[in-house]
Every structure is written in C-alpha cells, then in structure tokens.
C-alpha cells in the first residue's frame, strides 16, 4: 500500500547546550593547550547558547517511478520530478521517503557575523556546526519516533555530480512556506542560508549506502565511508 504524503513537521524549539569537549575536539585544540583558550571559548559558548535556536523541518512523502525514457533516471516525489540515476536506483523499491532540512538557525548565524576577530569567528563556525548537528539529530529522532523506519540512508543535492545543486529548489518546494518558517533560504548559487544547514532525503535501505562511496574527492574532512571505485559500475551503470 502506498503511503500518504503528510504535512511538513516543523521543529523550532530544539534545545542547544554545546559541549566544551566536543568544540575543543572539533577545533583540534590539544588538551595541553586548552587552558590558554578556555576563557574566550567559554565566553563564546555562553553567548551562543543564549541566542541559538537550531531548527528543522521534515515530511513524509510518496515516491512514484516514471516509465518510458525516464525510467531508471528520475523519480517523482510528491508529484515533483527529481533527476538522478543514483537516486532512482536507490528508491527503486521504496514507496516513502522523508525529505528534510536542518539548520543552525538564523539567530546563531547573525550572532557569528558580529564577531570580528578571525580566530574567534573560526571558533564560532565550529559552534554553528555543532548546532547544525543538534538540529539534524533532533529531526532524525522525530522521524524515527513518528514513523519507525528501518535502516535509513540519505542523499543530499550537490553531494554527487549525479544529483546536483540545481535540484535544490525542487526539494525546498516540497515544504512550501515551512522553509521560511525555519529561516532557511537559497542564494543565487543555490547554497543554503545559513551556510550551516543541510537538506536531503532519508529513505529506508538495508544496503548501508553512503554517498561518500561514490565520491572520489580526497582528504574530505566529512567523509563517512571510503570511496569504492567499482560501486557505480556494479550497481548504477545503465
């Protein structure tokens, strides 16, 4: 039975309590050097916690598969077409997906823009990254609580050449006015504003798929799985 699409679920009251140890680790500050930086970092953390409002939105969406020339090359999600061979193959046997957007929040972004010192601004970026992680975890937890999906995988516009950033407006359109409610927008180059935001699709999969497996970029600090040069030919080649 095909799942019914749902209204966007907005999470705009996500608690943010940044952990000093996580921030120090993200900044690569050694334990021996930490004492000399702690007063300034603790001050930034206190400021950030006071203003931060991480946010997220997601929804349950239906998946359809076009026939003809587009078969295996695109999918229809809530009546909007997304063109990607990899996405089409990954969703071949899937009837529901969970589009999502998570962000550190416009409030934290505005706060970071008031920091003039370049070192402290770098530290603020790490704090915003932590707020984004907090928002993404909150959205994922809500999806699991509400819909009990099994093993999940994710794809994000722009993470692979096969699904470029040009698909981002269609993904945002799935949420209607809810995107504005969480304060996330797109620049002319289709990058998200605030920058510390992420969008994508969660889908049920037991293959352990990671986009990183298809990305040959070296020295990527956010790599979650090793590059597999044979995976595309074995699974996604037409």
Task: Please give the Cα distance from 158 to 148 (Å, whole number).
Answer: 28
Rounded to the nearest angstrom, the gap between the alpha carbon of residue 135 and the centroid of all alpha carbons in its chain is 9
Omega cis (within 30) before 194:
yes
**26-58 tens-digit pLDDT:** 898 887 888 899 999 999 999 999 999 999 999
Give the start-to-end residue ranges of the domains of the chain. Answer: 9-236
Helix ranges (DSSP H) in the chain: 20-27, 34-51, 85-90, 106-112, 118-147, 168-173, 178-181, 231
Residue given tokens 């997220």 in the structure block:
56
Residue given tokens 């790490």 in the structure block:
126
**pLDDT tier for residue 2 given thresholds of 50, 70 and 90:** very low
Q: Which two tokens stand for residue 235?
A: 């699974």
Query: Quick check: 1 pLDDT over 50?
Result: no
Per the CB < 8 A criterion, the answer to whether 87 and 94 are in contact is: no
154: part of which helix (H) or strand (E)?
strand 152-155
CATH topology of domain 9-236: NADH Oxidase (3.40.109)
Per the CB < 8 A criterion, the answer to whether 56 and 15 are in contact is: no
Query: Quick check: 86 pLDDT over 70?
Result: yes
pTM: 0.94
**pLDDT tier for residue 3 given thresholds of 50, 70 and 90:** low
Sign, CA torsion 72/76/81/84: negative
**108-152 tens-digit pLDDT:** 999 999 999 999 999 999 999 999 999 999 999 999 999 999 899
Rounded to the nearest angstrom, the gap between the alpha carbon of residue 160 and the centroid of all alpha carbons in its chain is 14
**176-227 tens-digit pLDDT:** 999 999 999 999 999 999 999 999 999 998 878 999 999 999 888 888 999 9
Give Cβ neighbours of residue 132 (< 8 Å, ≥ 6 apart): 54, 102, 103, 104, 196, 197, 198
């Amino acid at each position: 039975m095909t799942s019914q699409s749902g209204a966007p679920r907005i999470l705009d009251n996500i608690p943010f309590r940044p952990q000093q140890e996580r921030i120090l680790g993200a900044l690569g500050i050694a334990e021996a050097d930490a004492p000399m930086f702690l007063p300034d970092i603790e001050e930034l953390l206190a400021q950030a916690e006071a203003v931060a409002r991480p946010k997220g939105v997601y929804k349950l969406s239906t998946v359809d598969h076009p026939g003809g020339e587009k078969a295996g090359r695109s999918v229809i999600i809530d009546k909007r077409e997304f063109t990607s061979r990899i996405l089409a193959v990954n969703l071949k046997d899937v009837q529901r997906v969970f589009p999502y957007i998570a962000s550190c929040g416009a409030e934290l972004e505005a706060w970071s823009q008031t920091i003039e010192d370049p070192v402290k601004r770098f530290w603020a970026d790490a704090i915003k990254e932590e707020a984004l992680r907090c928002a993404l975890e909150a959205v994922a937890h809500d999806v699991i609580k509400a819909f009990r999906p099994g093993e999940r995988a994710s794809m994000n516009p722009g993470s692979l050449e096969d699904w470029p950033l040009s698909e981002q407006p269609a993904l945002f359109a799935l949420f209607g006015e809810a995107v504005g409610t969480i304060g996330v927008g797109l620049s002319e180059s289709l990058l998200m504003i605030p920058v510390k935001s992420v969008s994508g699709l969660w889908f049920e999969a037991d293959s352990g798929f990671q986009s990183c497996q298809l990305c040959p970029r070296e020295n990527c600090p956010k790599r979650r799985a090793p590059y597999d040069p044979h995976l595309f030919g074995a699974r996604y080649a037409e």
